[in-house]
Amino acid sequence: MKPSFFKNLGPHDLSTIKSEINCTADNKKNAEFTKLVGLTSLENNTISFLYDNQELKNYKFDNTINYAIICTEESSKKINKNIQKIVVKDVHHAVSILSNLFYREYSQEEINTFPSPEIGKNSIIQDKVIIENGSIIGSNVKICNGAVIKSGCIIGNNSFIDCNSVISNSIIGDDVKIGRNCSIGQPGFGFSIQRSNNENIFHVGRVIIQSRVRIGSNCTLDRGSFGDTVIGENTYLDNLCHIAHNVSIGNDCVFTGMNGIAGSTTVGNGVLSGGQVGIAGHLKIGNNVQIAAKSGVINDIDDNASVMGNPAVNKYKYIKQFKKTYG
C-alpha cells in the first residue's frame, strides 16, 4: 500500500480535545474524530475550523454526517444549531495545537518499512541522489547529484531535477524541469504567535506541480496547510521565487526573478509578472493580468488588467500620476 506523506494520529474523542485546548463544547455528541481538515474537505467524523472573517456562504455544510467546527462565540451564532461547535477564543491557536495532536511526520524507522522506490525505464539517477522509500519516479527522468526525493513523492515522465534540490510532499507531472538548489514541499510559514512559545501548524497539504512547468534555481514552494499549493500547466518560475502555502497558480503564467506570493492567494491563467513583484496573501488575481516589475500587490486584480506601482494600481493611472508629480 502506498504511504501518505504524514502519519494520522486519530481518532481522538471530545474529552481528549478539550484537554488540549481551552474550549466549550456540546458533550451530547461523544463521537471520535479521525482528522482535522479544512472546510472544503469535511467528511464524517472530522473536525474543521471557521475564522471570523470567513464567509459561510462559500462553504457547504452537510447535516447528514457527524463533524465539529472550531469557532469563536461570535461565529458560532451563524452556524446551524445541528452542527456541533467547539467554541474557543483563538481559533488559530486551537488549530495549531490540534494539528499536532492529529498529525506527525513519519519516523525514519517507519519510512524504512515502505516499498522500495519505483523507477521507470531509461531514467538516470546520479550516484549522490537520495530517493526515499514509497516514491515513484517515471520514465526518462534525470535526477542530478545532491537531490533528495522524500518519501511518497511522485515524479512524472521526462522530468529533470537539477543538483541539490529537495522535494517532499509533492506530486510532479510530466516534462517538468526543476533547477538546482530548490526546496519544494516543506511546511509553510504557518503558526500561532504566542509570547515566548509560538505554536507551529502541522501542514498536511501537498505541492502539486502540473505538466510542462519550469522552475528556476533557488526557488521555494511551500506545501499547503490544509489544502494544496498548485502550479498550473506550462507555468514558468524564474530563479529566486517564493510560493507560499495554499497558493494556486493557473496555467501559462510567467513569474520572473525574485517574485514572492504570500499564502492562500489564487492566480488565474496567463498572468505575467515582472521581477521583484510581491503579492500579498488571500488575494484573487484574475486571468491575463500583467504586473510590472517591483510592484506591490495588496488588492484583488480583475481579469485582463495591467498594474504597476506600490501599491499596484492600473498602469495608466500610475503613469498619469507619475507625470503629474515628476513632470
Query: Residue 58's pLDDT is what?
Result: 77
Res 29: pLDDT: 59
- Active-site residues, by number, are 245
DSSP 15: H
Q: Is the pTM of this model over 0.85?
A: yes
Whether the CB-CB separation of 208 and 228 falls below 8 Å is answered with yes
Q: Which of 41, 13, 164 lies closest to 101 in space, CA to CA? A: 13
- pLDDT (tens, 9 = 90+) of the chain, 327 residues, equals 344 799 999 999 999 999 999 999 875 556 799 999 999 999 999 999 999 988 887 788 887 888 999 999 999 998 888 889 999 999 999 999 999 999 999 999 999 999 999 999 999 999 999 999 999 999 999 999 999 999 999 999 999 999 999 999 999 999 999 999 999 999 999 999 999 999 999 999 999 999 999 999 999 999 999 999 999 999 999 999 999 999 999 999 999 999 999 999 999 999 999 999 999 999 999 999 999 999 999 999 999 999 999 999 999 999 999 888 887
ω before 115 within 30° of 0 (cis)?
Answer: no
pLDDT at residue 1, rounded to an integer: 39
Are 225 and 246 in contact by the 8 Å Cβ rule? The answer is: yes
What is the Cα–Cα distance from 199 to 178, expressed in whole angstroms? 32
CATH ID of 7-104, from 2.30.110.20, 3.10.450.750, 3.30.1360.120, 3.40.1390.10: 3.40.1390.10
Q: Where in the chain do CATH 2.160.10.10 domains reside?
A: 119-326
Contact 132, 111 (CB under 8 A): yes
Q: Which amino acid is it at 303?
A: D
CA–CA distance, 311 with 294 (Å, rounded to integer): 10
* Burial of 92: CB neighbours in 10 Å, binned 0-12, 13-18, 19+: middle
Length of the chain, in residues:
327
Residues of the chain with CATH 3.40.1390.10: 7-104
**What whole-number distance in Å separates Cα of residue 110 and Cα of residue 312?**
49
Task: Tell me the CATH class for 119-326.
Answer: mainly beta
